[in-house]
Structure 1
């Protein structure tokens, strides 16, 4: 899931026990039940690692405190050479120029702007799906979770390949033949206009509150390591502006072309990190021999607290929503030149998910030998980058990191523009020309950027980015996915029953989310008051 996307849910920004004690913090530290860090190089025995934990210093958000404590106390220098900076700048200029060139060289109408003319080839579809799915938090979260818990996190990746096969074979032919612009438009075909408007509005809300905002916030937190003098919202605004500029100009075609370049770049950067880490750890055989029993299992027993085998069903359901009903992901398949091109593109994206074990998860295993005493698992990826890579290679890998972030962001921005323009404006103003609808889409992209930057700081109210993203989707997605799958597989599904299910399901989820939001706000206020009294 970006966008934060699909496996972004692994990017937990939390603080372990050792960091809290070393930093001199006390009463403001709260624990949940400790998980087990499987390996310690110093004595070869399992050690307790209270990974699920948060720290709130009065006046600071938990995630701001994470940056202050972790990176402030780190022995590693997070600095770039002039060569690295030059490489990053060249990448940003090239990506921006490519997107602008693609947009300016063509007179784009509605289909061209929102669906790349329905002419995308299968390699372009597959690379764009993969790049949009892998975000900056994915790179950090996969390596960090492998460091802490082993390769169980890979279940999100291989299951994505399974889901994409199901989508390609079962769902995609009907989606493409329907000649729709949006997934809510499919609900209109299945049920009635009310279902379409409802899901479109819900998707837009999730786009701003969860996908765009979370991507901006996660990227800004990590990039603040390199520019500590910048405020978070300054970094978020810069990221949104860069991705939004070529998205506004070129539409989905520009987004997919830049995504293809970014996919190659982030894969290349990941391979460089993997090779450097495994070699420094003593080679593949040495690294594998050091892994404790059980940590190399993908299918875990029922008693496992990280990924028990029944949880794989939940991973499948999450993946089905993400790849079949999420607008920014399905839009790439809808842009295919034919059903066959779309199917091959989806299968290609699924195939690209399989090597993720070796190029994004394995670095976390190597880091167990190289850095057994890291303060926090999410430090694995940046530590590997800055500790192992010489100038030049570091710039290339950092460019791949930025590519992952930009591809996730531009995808959600374009999806929001498509939803507003095609589900709302075109229905209300059917006489608008293609050129006018394109202008509407460009304006919506800008508005979405502004709203996402404005909302993203609210994520600080939650103990972690992981909890925020998980809660938002857990409370909103299930009723939509149920109606979509039911309508797709059962022509006899009744419109009124579907609408009732959507309304009741979402009202219940909204009430639960509001209750959680208020509870967290009150808890933070109580912590500040207690600290003031002390």
Structure 2
């Protein structure tokens, strides 16, 4: 593979995009009050809510992670995408009404309403740390993968710093209003770039038949362990090292529930909806947008197996970290699957289109980074600073949020290079998420559906669950214990959830029941469903979120059944 350089047309497109999106973001910013800055005035309509959710989720780290995991394994990575539609239906029915009714700014604030301040501060701190080391850092790392190829002589720290500065340029002055409006543009550009890459990839490989024939040929030659039919299956047996069906059934919904229903940087977009209906429609729209990801973001990774499995990428001068901790030059995609997406775009796309796709990738990166920066600064401001200084003015809260964003950018940029120590970007994202999610999901689930759950049980579950999660991460990364080290993280996560729920229930039953102010109006009941049913009778079918949810689930089931 020859050294990569950009045509002047590509460079012009990228520069125009970067300057244009910063200008547009600042123009759409709103910092008149803390509600304007952190929740965009709670005035967003459902298309913006849905597209914003999609764009914040399909960041550069996810885009690169999907293609690299497909190259490395099979289409099983798509399970994380279609499951989002199912989880968002559950979220829209059960959780969203309580979030919007209480008019909270943050998910930790909701925990305080349901339990007490201990849960709020603890979960807020953990969420801030997670936003920095998982979401923001991963987005910066992914952007560095693309640009490092073009500028190999520039240190990664410099590239990451510039990317962080570009994303923060409109997030700091404009707040969530800037973020969600720019995400609409970025999502459209990202989808356009993905469709174009898929078109050129399938053209090069000879269409669907060429892809299947190529995969079968590699199986016959001994290069692949599976044929095309096996690679196109979403899940394997319970002992499958990549995607066990038991992990799909129990593990992925758990991760999805945390990500879509409890994670501040995702839920914050729905909190900005103008009313409950727009919030629900937006959530379902985001679920619908996730379904085509298989065709435009996962399949190109399979095409790369056929086209580039023998490609020498050493000329790209990209280094990975070996198992011994030493830096090793990447020579092929087998030892550097994170390079799958860059290899695809730099080899297949013509001038002009390449610039558009790189701009789309940078759009994805800035979407995810700006989303996490804004949500984390919201947590710092509303869950800590406003409590320590309740007399701080609305303008003062906005200023604190801006300062917090600057600090978070620096921390994320400092951590991003550490991600290279993991086998792949997707493994990093899912493994860490798989260990931190169970304690949080346990607290939210029991809090919503079990009136007896109290603050003592919640904090015990959160603290012990986190200690167990840290222990498991250390064992997975740095040590080896039989059974524990060999267990798939999609099995470990649901088992940890059961442990956390048992701790929560046991401690709650051994201590005093919660006060009525912690449960009144915050527990889901059958009466709520009945009342809502009457309200929905007066709405047209296309406005009834239940009918829309059934349609979404039917489309999802059709796709999943075909590839299962």
Q: Please tell me the TM-score bracket, short chain as reference.
A: 0.7 to 0.9
Q: Of 242, 251, 260, which residue of structure 1 is paired with 2:175?
A: 251
Distance in 2 of aligned mates of 1:463 and 1:358: 25
Label 1:366 to 1:475 Cα distance change in 2 as closer, same or farther (>3 A).
Answer: closer
Structure 1 position 461, deviation (Å): 5.1
Aligned mates of 2:66, 2:131 — CA distance in 1: 23
For residue 290 of structure 2, what is the aligned residue in structure 1? 353
**Is it true that 1:77 corresponds to 2:3 in the alignment?**
yes
Alpha-carbon distance in 2 for matches of 1:403, 1:238: 14
1:181 aligns to what? 105
Q: CA RMSD in A?
A: 2.0
Which string of whole-angstrom CA distances, capped at 9 and with x for unpartnered residues, describes residues 165-192 of structure 1? Answer: 1111221111111100000011011101
- 1:306 matches 2:306: no
Q: How much has 1:107 moved relative to structure 2? A: 5.1
Which residues of 2 match residues 119-138 of structure 1 at below 5 A?
A: 119-138=43-62
Aligned counterparts of 1:303 and 1:201: Cα–Cα separation in 2: 36
Q: Give the Cα–Cα distance (whole angstroms) in 1 for the partners of residues 208 and 472 of structure 2.
A: 47
Question: Are the counterparts in 2 of residues 190 and 491 from structure 1 also a CA contact under 8 Å?
Answer: no
User: How far is the alpha carbon of 1:460 from its aligned partner?
Assistant: 4.8
Q: How many Å apart are 1:318 and its aligned residue?
A: 0.3
Q: How does 1:466-481 map to 2 (within 5 A)?
A: 466=426, 468-481=428-441
Cα deviation code 1:126-161 (max 9, x no counterpart): 111111111223222222322333322111111111
TM-score, with length taken from structure 1: 0.79
| Alpha-carbon distance, 1:426 to partner | 1.3
3-state SS in 1 of match to 2:231: coil
Alpha-carbon distance in 2 for matches of 1:467, 1:380: 15
Does structure 1 residue 492 correspond to structure 2 residue 426? no
1:154 aligned to which of 53, 56, 78: 78
CA distance in 2, matches of 1:379, 1:501: 39
Unaligned residue ranges in structure 1 (runs of 5+) = 1-74, 521-534
Secondary structure of the residue aligned to 2:3 is coil
1:315 Cα offset (Å):
0.8
The aligned residue for residue 378 of structure 2 is: 418
Structure 2, unpaired ranges of 5+: 216-227, 312-331, 481-564
Contact 2:255 2:433 (8 Å CA) reproduced: no
After superposition, give the CA deviation of every residue in 1:449-494 in whole Å (9 maximum; x if it has no partner).
Answer: 1122223334455555455444533443211211111101212212
- Structure-2 separation of matches of 1:517 and 1:310: 23
- Deviation of residue 91 (structure 1)? 0.5
CA contact (8 A) 1:76 1:383 kept: no
How far residue 210 of structure 1 moved from its aligned partner, in angstroms, is 2.4
Match of 2:163 in 1: 239
The aligned counterpart of 2:127 is 203
* 2: CA distance, partners of 1:155 / 1:462: 21
Distance in 2 separating the partners of 1:457 and 1:367: 25
Distance 1:143 1:277, change over 3 A: same
> For 2:428 and 2:71, how far apart are their aligned partners in 1?
23
State which of 468, 471, 484 in structure 2 corresponds to 1:508: 468
Q: What number of residue pairs does the alignment pair up?
A: 444
Task: Quote the Cα distance in structure 2 between the aligned partners of 1:287 and 1:512.
Answer: 39
Shift of 1:90: 0.5
Decide whether aligned partners of structure 1 residues 515 and 154 sit closer, same or farther in structure 2, where only a CA change above 3 A counts: closer
- Is 1:371 aligned to residue 308 of structure 2? yes
Q: Are positions 1:388 and 2:362 aligned together?
A: no
Q: Judging changes above 3 Å, is the alpha-carbon distance between structure 1 residues 446 and 282 closer, same or farther for their aligned structure 2 residues?
A: same
TM-score by length of 2: 0.75
When residues 154 and 514 of structure 1 are mapped into structure 2, their CA distance, relative to the original with a 3 A threshold, is: closer
Deviations 1:65-86 (A, max 9, x none): xxxxxxxxxx143211111011
Residue 146 of structure 2 is aligned to residue 212 of structure 1: no
